[in-house]
Structure 1
Amino acid sequence: MNLFLRLVLLLLALAVAAVVVAAGVAATFVSKWASDIPDYRRLDSLTLGTTTRVYARDLSPLGSLTPALAGGARINRTLVTLEEISPYMIASVVTNEDRRFFEHYGLDPIGISRGLKKTLNNERVEGGSTLTNQLVKLTLLDDLGGARTPERKVKEWLLSLQVERSFTKEEILNNYLNAIYWGDGGAVELFGVHAAARAYFGKLPRDLNLAQSTYLATLVPSPRRYLDYKIQRGYMRSLLERMVEDGWVTRAQADAAWREKLQPRGWKVTYDATGNVKSAELVNRSATYLRAVTTTRAPHFMQQVEKELIARFGAERVFGSGGLNVYTTLDPQAQSAAELASRQAVVPQGATLGAVLLDPYTAEVLAMVGQKIEAGRPPPEWNNAVQGKRQVGSSIKPLLYTTALSTGLTQLHTEEDRPVSFPCSGCPDGEYKPQNFGGKFYHRDMTLREALNRSLNIPTLRLADRIGLPTFRGKLTELGFTPSRDSGLSLAIGTLETTPLMMAAAYAPFVNGGIWRQPRYISRVTTVSGQVLYDAANERQAQRRVWSPQVAYLGLDMLLGYVNDFRPTEGGFGWKARIPGWEVGGKTGTTNDVRDLWFVGATPTYVGAVWVGKQAGGTMGDKDYSGEVNPPIWRTMVMGALAGKPPRQFTVPDGIMYETAPFKRDVQIALVDPNYQGKTTVIERDNELPQLREASPPPSDATVKVNLDRRTGRLATEFTPPEFVIERRVRPEELPGYAPDPNPQPLPDDLPASLPAAAPKPPTDSPDGIPRAPQLPAQAGGNS
């Protein structure tokens, strides 16, 4: 007996020791995991109070910026409050996901016990997680995935307790409804009740009835239930019964909801009189690829705004700290025109596009489309306008030709169009033997004007060899590009890789008199209380002179020639870009094997670029698309942006004369008058930005303070009410552009005090002869 008792005591001691050791080990892991949990206060960034709102240049809303979840998925950009959600929807979600939500403190002992019991019985575990647990898992612990590991559960419980202590039940429920995943919406995942309501029923969350609410609530555990409506009805019936049990709805309300002839988008369902399904057919699987889900206008432009904001202020300031008001450069009319052009674009099979429109005088981005827009579905997030670097083909040639003109050559300078070879260490037989597109040679001298009109490679390469690749690379660097140091002569015919945005910016100096400016998206940023954090009018924009006004105009004249000199029967490539009543210049580009198609063009008001190609790269076939695809897209975009505006003319600087083209009598070619006294070359001094060597001084960095009328963007007068007077810094040489309007129109007196002023119209002249708009929006080888 004593022996048996000793054995029992020994076993008990061993058991106690094992428990103690296990508890110690568990405590060690719990302590380690507890020290490595994220900050629960990050949930603040999901609240409406921290939404950053973005506005177009006319102050119309573009959308809101909200953060991505930990794993990179983005919550729906349209957040809603509980007051904006149907009570049926709230009751359905609480009943289906956490019936004791308003009774527990983040952990549900009954649910946990049920889960442990099923685990011990080797049954399928379901339930047990509270709404708070799920919210923590969806947001703060998303990087751990959905695996049921001890680490994730411990962190989930600890964070849930912290969240419950720091947030009200209403705040937790509100955040949950804005963050929960509701299925695949195509390019946009359906996060949040707003996206779900719009995707499945085309309604706002506040308009959901009981039947629709129970349908959506039963999708939460498994959105794939959408694919089998008959089975889903069983879940809906069960949920309605539980809602009656819990007192959320009456029996009569539940029965009426069951008899409702519900038609989730994409399904065609017939019912009998009692609400049972007779037939259910999924007639449109793509029904959840909805335009309604994309609640942000100009999504690719918004991407760039968000990136710039984060780079400037940091993610915490953008998504936390009360949110921001952001006033951008986007022109709604121009954006609508770009989107129309994208929808109507006829592109080779499997191809997409990227397009951008700039103000050439300020480099403000007015419109941006990053993909070919297809009806009924949001475009992919990848932005071809700024992210996809592609070979530019012959659209680079005007930059080379203008560089040559800046060395003293003229458009009448000739280069031979005959077969030629150049030494090349990396080429077969040590020689680079280029060809014109199609292998055709004219076997005669070509003026630069005609060579560009015909987009010939051989005269272009001879010209590049004449002026020297280092000269051309240097000019490309000034124009914002980063050409490879070891690039060969093929650089001159388009092996440079860049984006439509940067090509548009490089063509802007042709229009504005020779100044390159860094493109920008944002005019003004304030806190929600009105504190100004950034104002473009008070910051010197990155810019530099790359051409003299005369040389810039000579380059522009060549662009005008490319579009207008030759009719289609004469071999013209750019004629489809013509716009009645407007001067239009531009250049196409096609790369080897037809991998990339380009058109970059300019009017006196806008400069823009369109790229067409396959997203993953690759050839679009062997068809010659030169001038057929991109110019019409560009024309539709620019015509829409110009609609309602009176035609303007390009400004011709002093010192320009004209001669008749030797290859066509009705063509006049611009030249610099040999008697012109001004200087037309641009030089560099001691690594400074290139400056114009001319009689008048270049724009200085000095600025002066002036008082402006916020309603007009011009100098305030004695008639300007004090509440509309704002202080700005401008450069002295730009003051003429801010002169009060001699014929003022009546102005409204009810503008909100914190809104940015409109920019004045660009003046037609300035001290250095360059048409410039004052910066006051207070708010690879080429073929053709």
Structure 2
Amino acid sequence: MTEKARNRLLSLFWLGLAGAAAAAMGFASIYLYLKPGLPSVESLRDIRLQTPLRVYSRDMKLIGEFGEKRRNPITIEQTPELFVKAVLAAEDAGFYSHNGVSIKGLMRAASQLLQTGSIQSGGSTLTMQVARNFFLSREQRFVRKFNEILLSLQIEQELGKDQILELYINKIFLGNRAYGFQAAAHVYYGRDINDLNLAQWAMMAGLPKAPSTYNPIANPTRALVRRNWILKRMLELGYIDQDEYKNSITAPVTASYHGRDLDLNAPYIAEMARKEAVELFGDSAYTDGYQIITTVDSKLQDAARKALQHGLETYDARHGYRGPEQRLDAELLADSDQLVDLLNEIPVLGGLEPAVVTAVEPRQLQVQLRDRRVVEIPWENGLESIRPYISEDARGARLKSAEEMFAPGDVVRLRRVEVTAEENTGTGEELVEGEAPSPDPFAGPGEEAAPVEEPQVREEWHLAQVPEAQGALVSLAPEDGAIRALVGGYDFRQSHFNRVTQAARQPGSNFKPFIYASAIEKGYTAASVINDAPIIFEETNLQDVWRPENDSGRFLGPIRLREALYRSRNLVSIRLLQALGIDYALGFVERFGFERSKLARNLTIALGSSALTPLEVARGYAAFANGGYRVEPYLVDKVLDVNGETVYQALPLTVCHNCPEAGSEQQPREPVDLADLQMEAGAMEPSEEPVELRTLPVGPLDQAGEQARPRAPRALSAQTTYIMDSILKDVIKKGTGRKALVMKRGDIAGKTGTTNGPRDAWFSGYSPYLATSTWVGFDSNGELGKREYGGSAALPIWIDFMSTALEGLPERHLPQPDDIVTVRINPRTGLRTSRGGMFEIFRTDRVPGRGTYSSYQPVYSNDSGDTPPDEQPDEPLPEELF
């Protein structure tokens, strides 16, 4: 080599060295300048991915999901290996060999920038994408790129490759609110990532590059090109063989949008749980992946929703058809697209679909559905029974022709009905759901019956309408107040107002059992006789003269307490409260959990004039169901964090029948000689104050292994509870709740309630398994109709729900406590008798004196099943507020 060449080479060497030194100094300067502003990589170890709040039933059915980002974090061990390879083939094949930065990738990006004058790709590794997604923005600036490189180098030093990859798999945005591949698998395919195939994995691996451009739903053609390129890369890298490649590259695009499917329709429950979660955890409830496990039973919740909707629709049908919801211009009928858009803006309520009438014939309607189908509504599918609504008390005559009410452009509601019929029967009869076909009657001895073909199912559409009346249903577990089912209205999409917890309405006679319980606790018996006769009050706090009446306008004269309650006699309730004293009664009613401040301080509280929510009333009835203990309703049983660890556990007041009740014995009362009681109850003055509640110390439960809970305090004695339970069972056997006899159970009890108008209809009742309250009324406080009562509007809903809830459960009854005896009495005087008469139950210290049975002739006999002439046996006995 010549001297000249040697000098040239040396110059180039020093020039290169100087350039490298300058580059190093420049890089070091940039590092020193940017380093103070970089976040700590150590925080990635404890990073909390934004995971939505999820609400579940007690049997882990999903009820609701709240949060802007849908995410289902998974570990690297839970991620399919072949899917990981698809991601590496698409994004960073050298991930496991580089130190966080790919020089080759950066040089390629720089070359593209010099050639085109714009940024074509960032040359980012998976580590660099993790740095950007967790700490940086997506703005295309060189400073951000330098930060990304520096952070990537630090991340590689702090974390292992699998840890970095796991962060990437759970963090990356993949379109349609999905963050992370597990969430994306549910959004695009409706399944876990482990349940997808190679073609689908490759399709999802193509999303990170541009979720909108390569979205298989929005851009299936471009997404398919990207998928096939990834499959080819996997083949070239040796991740898959030729057969796997051929099978996957010909696979069709199967992605479609899968919104988060809820397992249970319980939006009122979901909203209550959401509010409680925010109270517990603040705004982080929406992002930290909490799982709320409620006390709700999915079977009971579904039954409650169906019962309430059916009950409101049945009530609504009794009062006539109000006509189409709206009428559209005729021009709209010619524009199919606009018509479909309009129908899709109308929510489906209670399962009732909106539709537009397109043609009307005398005995038939033709309507278009939201999915563009045109179906026919024959006369027998809801048209023949239409009677126009005039008022809550009047309907018009039945339609003679559909043209009298309908015209093209009318928006109506339809109910979809599946009709199942046997093939080749020639009868066209419907099969009852769950009923097996009859065996072949022509099969001889030892011969197999001819195979029965599966019955065909056809779809029918029936005319319907969305009820204007609203309702509520809540059901509690009596032993601890756990909410097993709750429906706050006809449909949450119609109104978010939760009538179980927010609607304070007058309960009417539904409140009477608490007044009667206070009387029995004080010294009255089920055989005490009170006069059912007119009474007039002139009191300043009632502002005017008050003449309370019974609904029928008739009075039965002297009547026993038991009969007065199951017949819901208003005048007896008022006289009873007058005798007890308002202060005593208010103090006693507080023991059921009612707030004194919400109760009126006058005699109208005997008739349920104080506004209460269905949840408050159900809590009160739970005491009759559980043996006399006060419980507090609760919804959230426990809360799990994102790792499945319990961070909250409810400890409700719980009834423990087998636990000793230390200090709970009441002071003995002096026996009351009921023979000396006068017919006019006002002669009895209150002689004692109610016993204050005592929260008993924590003790073991009778359920082995369950965590000890606070003991539920007594609301009333076991003896009073047993007597009240007997009377409330008579409400169903003989009184205003007789419709519930259809359930053929002896362990159910309850009370109807109806307020003036009537405006509110109630039925609250229980078995030892559940305490349930139902209410029907208008949000506007309008009248339900003169022929509507608790027994006609609310009780059928209670029956439908409780029939399902108690199905298959054996009858259970409260155990008879000590100091209870059964005595034969004169049914007219309530006094003991040695022959004839009827049996009544008493506390041993309150057995009445003897009377003479032959000294009177009863107007009617309760034991014979006869009823007084002014009341019909097949109709619920009415009751009214005042």
The TM-score, its normalising length taken from structure 2, stands at 0.49
**1:339 aligned partner:** 302
1:583 and 2:583 are equivalent in the alignment: no
Q: Which amino acid aligns with 2:769?
A: Y
Q: Distance in 1 between matches of 2:715 and 2:149?
A: 62
**Gap change, CA 1:259 and 1:549, over 3 Å in 2:** same
Contact 1:576 1:628 in 2 (8 A): no
**1:17 aligned partner:** none
**Gap change, CA 1:207 and 1:337, over 3 Å in 2:** same
**2:554 aligned partner:** 442
**Gap change, CA 1:424 and 1:42, over 3 Å in 2:** farther
Please, which of 195, 201, 205 is the counterpart of residue 213 of structure 1?
Answer: 201
Contact 2:534 2:548 in 1 (8 A): no
Please, which of 773, 781, 784 is the counterpart of residue 622 of structure 1?
Answer: 784
Secondary structure in 2 aligned to 1:213?
A: helix
**Gap change, CA 1:297 and 1:495, over 3 Å in 2:** closer
Q: Which amino acid aligns with 1:622?
A: L
**Offset at residue 208 of structure 1 (A):** 0.3
User: Alpha carbon RMSD of aligned pairs, Å?
Assistant: 6.8
1:404 and 2:567 are equivalent in the alignment: no
**Gap change, CA 1:146 and 1:308, over 3 Å in 2:** same
**Gap change, CA 1:675 and 1:619, over 3 Å in 2:** closer
**1:231 aligned partner:** 219
Secondary structure in 1 aligned to 2:305?
A: helix
1:516 and 2:630 are equivalent in the alignment: yes
Contact 1:97 1:131 in 2 (8 A): yes
1:478 and 2:591 are equivalent in the alignment: yes
**Gap change, CA 1:447 and 1:34, over 3 Å in 2:** farther
**1:608 aligned partner:** 771
Secondary structure in 1 aligned to 2:520?
A: helix
**Offset at residue 652 of structure 1 (A):** 3.1
Secondary structure in 2 aligned to 1:552?
A: helix
Secondary structure in 2 aligned to 1:367?
A: strand
1:288 and 2:265 are equivalent in the alignment: no
For structure 2, which runs of at least 5 residues remain unmatched after alignment?
Answer: 1-29, 313-465, 652-699, 831-835, 849-878
1:507 and 2:621 are equivalent in the alignment: yes
Contact 2:586 2:596 in 1 (8 A): yes
Secondary structure in 2 aligned to 1:622?
A: coil
Contact 1:393 1:591 in 2 (8 A): yes
**1:259 aligned partner:** 250
Q: Which amino acid aligns with 1:482?
A: E
Q: Which amino acid aligns with 2:222?
A: G
Contact 1:504 1:607 in 2 (8 A): no
| Structure 1 segment 244-643 matched on structure 2, within 5 A | 244-245=232-233, 247=237, 256-264=247-255, 288=259, 290-291=261-262, 336-343=299-306, 345=308, 346-348=310-312, 349=466, 354-358=473-477, 360=478, 362-363=479-480, 365=482, 367-369=484-486, 390-391=504-505, 393-394=507-508, 395-411=510-526, 412-414=528-530, 423=539, 430-431=543-544, 441-442=553-554, 448-449=561-562, 452-453=565-566, 455=568, 460=573, 463-464=576-577, 467-484=580-597, 487-489=600-602, 493=608, 495-498=610-613, 500=615, 503-518=617-632, 539=708, 541-566=710-735, 572-573=736-737, 575-576=739-740, 579-589=743-753, 598-603=762-767, 605-611=768-774, 622=784, 624=788, 626-628=790-792, 630-635=794-799, 637-640=801-804, 642-643=806-807
Q: Distance in 2 between matches of 1:164 and 1:434?
A: 87
**Offset at residue 231 of structure 1 (A):** 2.3
**Gap change, CA 1:676 and 1:669, over 3 Å in 2:** same
Secondary structure in 1 aligned to 2:814?
A: coil
**Offset at residue 242 of structure 1 (A):** 4.2
Secondary structure in 1 aligned to 2:47?
A: helix
Contact 2:92 2:126 in 1 (8 A): yes
Q: Distance in 2 between matches of 1:453 and 1:168?
A: 75
**1:648 aligned partner:** 812
Q: Distance in 2 between matches of 1:517 and 1:229?
A: 52
**Offset at residue 559 of structure 1 (A):** 1.8
**1:672 aligned partner:** 842
Q: Distance in 2 between matches of 1:474 and 1:497?
A: 17
**Offset at residue 583 of structure 1 (A):** 1.9
**Gap change, CA 1:27 and 1:88, over 3 Å in 2:** closer
**Offset at residue 477 of structure 1 (A):** 3.2
**Offset at residue 82 of structure 1 (A):** 3.7
Q: Which amino acid aligns with 1:207?
A: D
For structure 1, which runs of at least 5 residues remain unmatched after alignment?
Answer: 1-22, 267-286, 567-571, 679-780
Q: Distance in 1 between matches of 2:760 and 2:141?
A: 49
Secondary structure in 1 aligned to 2:751?
A: strand
Secondary structure in 2 aligned to 1:609?
A: strand
| Structure 1 segment 25-36 matched on structure 2, within 5 A | none
Secondary structure in 1 aligned to 2:740?
A: helix
Secondary structure in 1 aligned to 2:784?
A: coil
Q: Distance in 1 between matches of 2:540 and 2:213?
A: 63
Q: Distance in 2 between matches of 1:347 and 1:562?
A: 21
Q: Distance in 2 between matches of 1:494 and 1:175?
A: 61
**Gap change, CA 1:655 and 1:573, over 3 Å in 2:** closer
Contact 1:563 1:578 in 2 (8 A): no
**Offset at residue 584 of structure 1 (A):** 0.8
Secondary structure in 1 aligned to 2:630?
A: strand
**Offset at residue 206 of structure 1 (A):** 0.9
Q: Distance in 2 between matches of 1:227 and 1:302?
A: 32
**Offset at residue 481 of structure 1 (A):** 3.5
Largest Rg, 1 or 2: 2
Contact 2:100 2:156 in 1 (8 A): yes
Secondary structure in 2 aligned to 1:244?
A: helix
More displaced, 219-228 or 167-176? 219-228
Q: Distance in 1 between matches of 2:305 and 2:841?
A: 38
Contact 2:304 2:801 in 1 (8 A): yes
Contact 1:424 1:431 in 2 (8 A): yes
Q: Deviations over 1:346-402 (max 9, x none)?
A: 1434757554341x4x4263834557899xxx9999996986565472433322331
**Offset at residue 46 of structure 1 (A):** 8.5
Contact 1:298 1:369 in 2 (8 A): no
Q: Deviations over 1:278-328 (max 9, x none)?
A: xxxxxxxxx635246x7x99995998799699979xx99xx99xx99x9x9
Contact 1:106 1:164 in 2 (8 A): yes
Q: Distance in 1 between matches of 2:546 and 2:755?
A: 17
**1:710 aligned partner:** none
